[in-house]
Amino acid sequence: MIITAGEALADLVPHAVPGGGPMNTAVACARLGAPTAFLGAVSTDEHGDAIWAHLEASGVDLRLTQRRGEATCRAEVIGDPPTFHFHGDGTADRFVEMPDPGLLGGGPHLLHGGTLGIFREPGASVLVEVAETIDGIVSFDPNVRPQIIEPLGRRHWDPWFNRWVAACSLFRGSDDDFAWIWPDRDPADCAGELLDRGVAAVLVTSSTSVTTITAEGSATVAVDPVPVADTVGAGDSFCGGVLTQLWERGIHTPGALATVALAEWREIVAFAIRVAGITVQRVGADPPRRDEL
């Protein structure tokens, strides 16, 4: 199955709706028809109840989803492109625990992680250990949030980032992510460094195109303009589209991922762009179901 690991929170846009990068990706994958589980901790407060119902209604497997008594993390989403103001001290998402391995069943599984869960302790240690030990593809979307990282200092974030890069075989980053992680460097140069570190495929996304970079070379797919209501969840939905395509095509291991030709990557990326293109036409992270494509 596909397992997304990390935070679930309430996006205030301005009314509270379920959100959080990894949770949004789980919803996208499940709505597209892939067997998907969410590994994270969800509060028992009213926001947590809404998140749980959202996951359940979308068809996400909840066996790995834990309930906690702490409050739900809240993110005020302001403007477009959005900026985020977080209220997350001591919130439930930080306290995810190591799941029972028996709940996973037979693999190989595709694991996806990123955003806040990769560096917010104590859960960050749990999630990166899962990434370092799982038997299938690890997909990593750092989905950088400078408003949270910079007050803590890059020295707090960088070690977690490096552990996820070492574990992953698929890396997705927006042009803004690349600019923050590697200032004043060309994304193609950074992608080459990631390939040298063992990543099989790098996806560089922007509002106008997506470029896939592998050992074979690079391929760019244009993003067709659509009416945009809200860009929250666009990248998460894109990742959901990519993961669903990998699962459907039987590409479940790092070795298999390394053999994917650029021509096939164009097809995978074009599908994921269509998924994200529907999400941005709605307010809040609301990925499409398969029949909407």
Q: What does the pLDDT read at residue 36?
A: 98
Q: What does the pLDDT read at residue 292?
A: 95
Residue type, 16: A
Q: What is the DSSP letter of 35?
A: -
Please write the tens of the pLDDT for every residue from 173-224.
999 999 999 999 999 999 999 999 999 999 999 999 999 999 999 999 999 9
CA dihedral 181, 182, 184, 185 (to 10 degrees): -140
Q: What does the pLDDT read at residue 284?
A: 84
The string of DSSP codes covering 116-185 is GGGTSTTHHHHHHHHHHH-SS-EEEE----HHHHHHH-HHHHHHHHHHHHHH-SEEEEEHHHHHHHSTTS
Give every residue of the chain whose pLDDT is below 50, as ranges. none
Q: What does the pLDDT read at residue 86?
A: 81
Pairing of strands 138-141, 110-114: parallel
CB 101 within 8 A of CB 37: no
Domains, the chain, in order of start with CATH, read 2-292 (3.40.1190.20)
Residue type, 145: R
CB 10 within 8 A of CB 87: no
Half-sphere exposure of 162 (CA within 13 A, CB side): 6
SS3 9: strand
CB 38 within 8 A of CB 69: no
Please write the tens of the pLDDT for every residue from 95-113.
999 998 888 778 899 999 9
SS3 192: helix
